[in-house]
Amino acid sequence: MFSLTINGESHSVDAPAEMPLLWVLRDLIGLTGTKFGCGIAQCGACTVHLDGTPVRSCQLPVGSIGARPITTVEGVGASAVGAKVQKAWLELEVVQCGYCQSGQVMSAVALLQTHPKPDDADIDAAMAGNICRCGTYLRIRDAIKHAAEA
Amino acid sequence: MDDLQSEPVVREVAEPEAAVSVRPSPSRRAFLKTSVAVGGALLLGFRIPFAASAAERAQGLFAPNAFIRIDPQGAITLLMPQAEMGQGVYTSIPMILAEELDAKWEQVSIEASPPNDKLYGNPIFQIQVTGNSNSIRAFWTTLRKAGAGARAILIEAAARRWNVEPSSCTAADSEVVHAASGRKLGYGALIGDASSLTPPADPPLKAVADFKIIGKPVKRLDTPDKVNGKALYGIDAMPPGLKFATLAACPVFGGRVGRVDDSKAKQIAGVRQVLLFDDFVAVVGDHMWAAKLGLAALDINWDEGEYAQLSSADIWRQLRTASEKTGVVAKTVGDAAKTLAGGTRIDAAYEMPFLAHATMEPMNCTVHVQQDSCEVWVGTQVQTRAQSVAAKITGLPLEKVKVHFFLLGGGFGRRLEVDYIEKAVKVAQKVDAPVKLVWSREEDVRQDIFRPVYRDVLSATLADGRISGWTHRVTGSAVIARWLPPAFQKGIDIDAIDSAADMPYEIPNLLVDYQRDEPPAVPTGFWRGVGPNNNVFAVESFIDELAKKAGKDPLEFRRGMLGKEPRLLAAMELAASKAGWGSTLPERHGRGIGVQVAFGSFIATVAEVEVGKNGDVRVHRIVCAVDTGIVVNPDTVIAQLQGGLIFGLTAALYGEITIEKGRVQQSNFHDYRMLRIDEVPKIEVHLIQSGEAPGGIGETGTTAAPPAVGNAIFAATGIRLRRLPIDRDVLAGRKTV
C-alpha cells in the first residue's frame, strides 16, 4: 500500500512498487487526464509535477515517490500559474485533438514557475519533450508568452 | 476543374430510401463540381433526415430533424454526425446549424449522434464517416436546410399563436419576434405548437451577408475540457468492473500465433487471463501495468508464415516493375503520346514511402460482451462500421450493440479502420467483465494500416516556354478497393489519382493513368492528405523541374499555365507577394513554391529553407494563401493549415516505415520521428475572402508542405530530391541520387 498526495488529496493505493505512476493515476485512481502516449518518456503526454518538478509519469515507479506531492492536469488550475496557462491556452485556441495537451500544459506551467518570462530558447528547452501530432506548436509558444504577460 | 468529363471515375449513388429528398438548390451545381473535383466520387443527394423518435416526443422534445433537439426551457442540443478529432467540427457544425436556426449560441450544446447511416450518413460517402476533409463540404447544405426548416416552423407556430402572417415575423437569438406589435416568444415556448408542423422541404436560406455566426472566429466548444483533464477520449472509458488488456500481434505480416508458454505470465500479480487468437495474443489484468508485464513474460513462438523474409527492397522492386506497365487511363486530353514522341522528352520518377499514422492516443477500444448485448466505448471515424463490426463478431442484432462515442486523440485516417474494435470485441467475448484493450505505442506503429508506397512516373515536353505534352503514371495501392469496394470502378482508384487527373495546369496533350499495385502482405489505408499528398508532390516537383529546363522562374512558369484557375492563380500571387518571392536570400537558403487544388480548396505555399553542409534541412518560414470558399470558423481554418503543414513537414523530413524480415523496423517516437517545437518554422496563413461554397481544409496543409520544401531545397542547393523523406546523405554529398 502506498499513500500518495495528489492535487492536495490523499490516496491509498495497492500497487506493486515498480508500477509507473501513470497507470496508478489512470487505472487505479481514475484520474484519466494524464495520458499514455509512448511509455518510454519520448512524448511527454504523461507529464505530471512531482514536488513542483515536471516528470514523465510513465517512467516513475510509484514506490519511489514517498511523501512528495503530485500535481496532475486535473489539479494544476488551482495554482495561479496553472490557471493562467489554461486561460492562455483557450484565449489563443491552442488545442486541436487535445490528447497531448495535458502534458503540454503541465510542462508549460513548470516552465513558467521557474522562468516567469521565458524566451524562445527557454521554451524550446522546456517543451521539446512534448510531441503534438496535430502541430499546435506555434500556438503553444505564443500561449506561453501570453500567459507570462498576464 | 469544372469539367465533368472524367466520367469513368464518377458514380452517382441513389439516395437512401428512407431519406427525404430535397429539391436541388441553385448551389447544387457548384457543390457537384467541388465534389467531383476532389475525387469524392460517391455523390450526392441533399437530404434532411427526419428523426423524431417516439421517445423524444414522449420527453417533450422538439425534434424537427435528425440534428436539432429543443426542450421546453429552450435548451438546444445539436447532434453531431461527424467525429471530433481535432479539426473543430464539434464547433463548426453547430455554427452552421445555429446560424440558420437563429439559435442563441450560448444556449447550444452538442452530443455525438447515435450510429445511423440513413440519418447521419455523410452526404458524399452515404455512410457515417469523417474523412476526406469533407465534413463541412458534405454537410453544408444539409445542415443549413435543417436549421432553416426548424426556424421556419418555429416562426409559423408563433405567427399562428399571434394570428399574424409568418412573413411579418423574424427570428433571432432563439426567439421569434413580431416587430409590428413588439411581441416575442422564446423557442422553448413554441416547441409544443411547432412539433405538429412539418418543416418545408426547401426552406429559404440566409444570404451570406446576413450571417451572424458563420465567418466569425467562434471559440471552440470542445477545448475547455481539454486543458483541465476532463475531456474523455476512448482510452479514458472506465465502466464499472473494468479489466485492462494489451496485445501482441504477430510481428511478421501475415503470421500466426504458434506455441505460447504462459506459465511465467500467470504468476504475475494482477494478471487474470492470457488469451490466444489466430494472429494475436492478449493479456488481461487488473490494470495496464499487469497486462504489460504479463505480455512481456509470455514466451511466444510465432508461425511467421510466407513473408518472413520480406524486405522494403522487395516491395520497391515490385512497385518499380509494376510502374513500367501501362495502367488504366484516368484522364486524356489531346495526344500526349504523339507530342512526347515528337519533342525533347524530360522524364522523372518520384517515390513515397510507407507511413504510420501515430495518433497521440494509441489504438484502443473498450467492450463489454454479455449474453444478449454488447456495449462498446470507442473513438472512431466510422460510427456505423464500429457498431456493425461488433454485431458481426458477436452475432447480435445491431440494436443490441450500444456504442458510446468518444473524442479522438487524433484520427488522420487510422480510425477509419475497425481492426482495433474487432480485436477488442474478440477479447471481450472471453472476459466476464468490460475490458479495455490498449495498444502499446510499439504495437500501434508496427500494426498500423500504412499509407501506401507510391511511384509516380512523369514525362513532358516543352514548347515556347510552356508544357506541350504531359504523361503521369501513378502506381500504388488501391485503398478504395478494400475500404469502399463499390467506389472502385474500372480499375481506377479515385483517391490514388486525385490531384493528378485533375491537376490545375492547362496542357494541350495530357495522359494520366493508374496502375494498381498492392504491396505484398503490408496492409494499406488512408493517411491524412490521402491521394493528393502523393500527386501534388510529384506534379509540383516536376513542374519545378520543367521550369528550370524552360529557363523560367518557377512562379512565372506556373503563372503562364494557370489561366483556367483564377482562384488558384490569385492564391499563388498572394503567397508569392507575402513571402517576398524573388528577394535575395543568404547562401544555402532557398525558396520554393507549390500550388494545389485539393479537397475543394485552392492553396499556394512558399517555403523558405536552409540546407546545412551536413545535409540537415531547417525550414525557416512557410507562407500559405488559401481560398477555401466560405469560411465557417476562420481561426479553425488557420489552425488546420498550421497543424497540417507541420504534419506534412514531419513526413517530408522524417517519415518512413521500412520492413526487414517481414517486420516493421520502427517502433516508437525515438525511431519514428515527429517534428518538435524547436524545429517548427514560422507559418503565415492568409485567407482569401470568397463567396463560393466551402472547401475542405483538414488535410490540405499536409499535402502543401512537402513539394514547397522540396522545391526550396532545390533552390538552395541545385539538388532535386525525388523521394520522401528527404535524404540528408544526398544533400551532404555523401551519396548520389
**pLDDT tens readout for residues B375-408:** 999 999 999 999 999 999 999 999 999 999 999 9
Share of chain B above pLDDT 70, in %: 92
B219 shares contact with chain A (CB less than 8 Å): yes
Contacts of B680 in chain A (CB under 8 A): 135, 137-138
Contacts of B359 in chain A (CB under 8 A): 97, 99, 133
Q: Which residue has the higher pLDDT, B6 or B462?
A: B462
**Mean predicted confidence (pLDDT) in B685-701:** 97
B39 shares contact with chain A (CB less than 8 Å): no
- Whether pLDDT at B46 is above 60: no
Query: Are B230 and A33 within 8 A, CB to CB?
Result: yes
Q: How confident is the model at residue B60 (pLDDT cuts 50, 70, 90)?
A: confident
What kind and span of H or E run contains B135?
A: helix B135-162
- Whether pLDDT at B581 is above 70: yes
The residue to which cell 510502374 is assigned: B323
A41 shares contact with chain B (CB less than 8 Å): no
Q: How many helices (H) and strands (E) does chain A have?
A: 5, 5
Residue among B227, B681, B167 nearest A105 (CA): B227
Q: Which amino acid is at B48?
A: I
Strand partners, B368: B375
Contacts of B445 in chain A (CB under 8 A): none
- Selecting from B229, B288, B683 the residue whose C-beta is nearest the C-beta of A72 gives B229
Instruction: State the Cα–Cα distance between residues A49 and A54, nearest whole angstrom.
Output: 4
Task: Give the SS3 label for residue B154.
Answer: helix
pLDDT in tens, B449-460: 999 999 999 999
pLDDT of residue B13: 29
In b/e form, how buried is each residue of B640-660, taking b as 16+ CB within 10 angstroms? bbbbbbbbbbbbbbbbbbebe
pLDDT in tens, A6-44: 999 999 999 999 999 999 999 999 999 999 999 999 999
Contacts for B160 with CB less than 8 Å, ≥ 6 apart: B193
Q: Which residue of B has its CA nearest to A77?
A: B228
Contacts of B231 in chain A (CB under 8 A): 98
Instruction: State the Cα–Cα distance between residues B222 and B84, nearest whole angstrom.
Output: 9
Give the class (CATH, top level) of A2-71. Answer: alpha beta
Query: Are A136 and B643 within 8 A, CB to CB?
Result: yes
pLDDT of residue B54: 56
pLDDT of residue B160: 98
Query: Are B360 and A42 within 8 A, CB to CB?
Result: no
Instruction: State the Cα–Cα distance between residues B111 and B67, nearest whole angstrom.
Output: 10
pLDDT of residue B51: 56
Q: What is the DSSP letter of B680?
A: P
pLDDT of residue B14: 30
Residue B165 exposed, middle or buried by CB count within 10 Å (0-12, 13-18, 19+):
exposed
A60 shares contact with chain B (CB less than 8 Å): no
Q: Considering only residues 635 to 674 of chain B, which have any Cβ-Cβ distance to chain A shorter than 8 Å? A: 635, 639-640, 642-647, 650, 668-670, 674
Query: Are A136 and B639 within 8 A, CB to CB?
Result: yes
Query: Are A137 and B676 within 8 A, CB to CB?
Result: yes
- Selecting from B226, B358, B359 the residue whose C-beta is nearest the C-beta of A98 gives B226
The residue to which cell 492528405 is assigned: B529
Backbone φ, ψ for residue B106 (5° rounding): -65, -20
- Whether pLDDT at A148 is above 80: yes
Contacts for B578 with CB less than 8 Å, ≥ 6 apart: B606, B623, B625, B684, B686
Q: What is the DSSP letter of B414?
A: G
- Selecting from B224, B229, B238 the residue whose C-beta is nearest the C-beta of A102 gives B229
pLDDT of residue B53: 58
CB B79 within 8 A of CB B69: yes
Dihedral Cα A27, A28, A32, A37, nearest 10 deg: -40
Q: How confident is the model at residue B58 (pLDDT cuts 50, 70, 90)?
A: low
Residue among B93, B90, B257, B102 nearest B176 (CA): B102
Query: Are A96 and B88 within 8 A, CB to CB?
Result: yes
Longest dimension (CA), chain A: 44
Q: Which amino acid is at B672?
A: Y
**CATH number of this structure's domain B313-354+450-731:** 3.30.365.10
B172 shares contact with chain A (CB less than 8 Å): no
**CATH number of this structure's domain B7-210:** 3.30.365.10
**Mutation test of the interface with chain B: which of A23, A28, A97, choosing the one with the most B Cβ atoms within 10 A?**
A97
Please give, rounded to a whole number of angstroms, the shortest distance from the CA of A67 to a CA of chain B: 22
Give the class (CATH, top level) of B234-305+363-438. Answer: alpha beta
Paired sense of beta strands B169-172 and B175-178, if any: antiparallel
Residue among B495, B523, B526 nearest B413 (CA): B526
pLDDT of residue B42: 32
Query: Are A136 and B441 within 8 A, CB to CB?
Result: no
B361 shares contact with chain A (CB less than 8 Å): yes
Instruction: State the Cα–Cα distance between residues B543 and B594, nearest whole angstrom.
Output: 9
**Mean predicted confidence (pLDDT) in A78-102:** 98
CB B598 within 8 A of CB B703: yes
Angle, helices B89-101 vs B135-162, to 10°: value is 30
* A76-149 topology per CATH: DNA polymerase; domain 1 (1.10.150)
Residue B673 CB neighbours (<10 A): 18
Query: Are B410 and A134 within 8 A, CB to CB?
Result: yes
State the cell numbers at B275.
Answer: 488469451
Query: Are A98 and B409 within 8 A, CB to CB?
Result: yes
Task: Give the SS3 label for residue B552.
Answer: coil
The residue to which cell 440519418 is assigned: B119
- Selecting from B87, B220, B228 the residue whose C-beta is nearest the C-beta of A93 gives B220
**Mean predicted confidence (pLDDT) in B599-613:** 98
CB B218 within 8 A of CB B88: no
Please give, rounded to a whole number of angstroms, the shortest distance from the CA of B295 to a CA of chain A: 15
Contacts of A101 in chain B (CB under 8 A): 226-227
pLDDT of residue B27: 34
**Mutation test of the interface with chain B: which of A27, A29, A59, choosing the one with the most B Cβ atoms within 10 A?**
A27
pLDDT of residue B48: 63
Question: If you average pLDDT over every residue of chain A, what do you get?
Answer: 98
Sign of the dihedral through C-alpha B540, B541, B546, B551: positive
The verdict on whether omega for the bond into residue B44 sits within 30 degrees of 0, i.e. cis, is yes
Contacts for B71 with CB less than 8 Å, ≥ 6 apart: B59, B60, B61, B62, B77, B188, B191
Share of chain A above pLDDT 90, in %: 100
**Mean predicted confidence (pLDDT) in B319-334:** 98
Paired sense of beta strands B280-285 and B271-276, if any: antiparallel
CB B180 within 8 A of CB B147: no
**Mean predicted confidence (pLDDT) in A104-122:** 98
DSSP string, B617-650: EEEEEEEEEEE-SS-S-HHHHHHHHHHHHHHHHH
ipTM confidence? 0.99
Q: What is the DSSP letter of B518?
A: P
CB B469 within 8 A of CB B341: no
Task: Give the SS3 label for residue B413.
Answer: coil
Q: How confident is the model at residue B52 (pLDDT cuts 50, 70, 90)?
A: low
Contacts of B683 in chain A (CB under 8 A): 138
Instruction: State the Cα–Cα distance between residues B183 and B169, nearest whole angstrom.
Output: 10
- Whether pLDDT at B464 is above 90: yes
**Mean predicted confidence (pLDDT) in B142-169:** 98
CB B275 within 8 A of CB B247: no
**Mutation test of the interface with chain A: which of B216, B223, B226, choosing the one with the most A Cβ atoms within 10 A?**
B226
**Mean predicted confidence (pLDDT) in B82-109:** 97
Residue A76 CB neighbours (<10 A): 26
pLDDT of residue B737: 77
Instruction: State the Cα–Cα distance between residues B611 and B617, nearest whole angstrom.
Output: 5
A131 shares contact with chain B (CB less than 8 Å): yes
A23 shares contact with chain B (CB less than 8 Å): yes
A34 shares contact with chain B (CB less than 8 Å): yes
Taking the domains of chain A in order of start, what are their residue ranges?
A: 2-71, 76-149
Query: Are A97 and B407 within 8 A, CB to CB?
Result: yes
Task: Give the SS3 label for residue B366.
Answer: strand
Question: If you average pLDDT over every residue of chain B, what do you get?
Answer: 93
Residue B338 exposed, middle or buried by CB count within 10 Å (0-12, 13-18, 19+):
exposed
- Selecting from B645, B670, B678 the residue whose C-beta is nearest the C-beta of A124 gives B678
Instruction: State the Cα–Cα distance between residues A119 and A134, nearest whole angstrom.
Output: 24
A56 shares contact with chain B (CB less than 8 Å): no
pTM over 0.90: yes
pLDDT of residue B56: 66
Q: Which residue of B has its CA nearest to A137?
A: B677
State the cell numbers at B559.
Answer: 503563372
**Mutation test of the interface with chain A: which of B84, B92, B227, B438, choosing the one with the most A Cβ atoms within 10 A?**
B227
pLDDT of residue B47: 55
A84 shares contact with chain B (CB less than 8 Å): no
- Whether pLDDT at B283 is above 50: yes
Please give, rounded to a whole number of angstroms, the shortest distance from the CA of B332 to a CA of chain A: 38
Q: Which amino acid is at B444?
A: D
A71 shares contact with chain B (CB less than 8 Å): no
pLDDT in tens, B220-233: 999 999 999 999 99
Taking the domains of chain B in order of start, what are their residue ranges?
A: 7-210, 234-305+363-438, 313-354+450-731
Displacement of CA B476 from its chain's centroid (Å) = 19
The residue to which cell 498550421 is assigned: B642
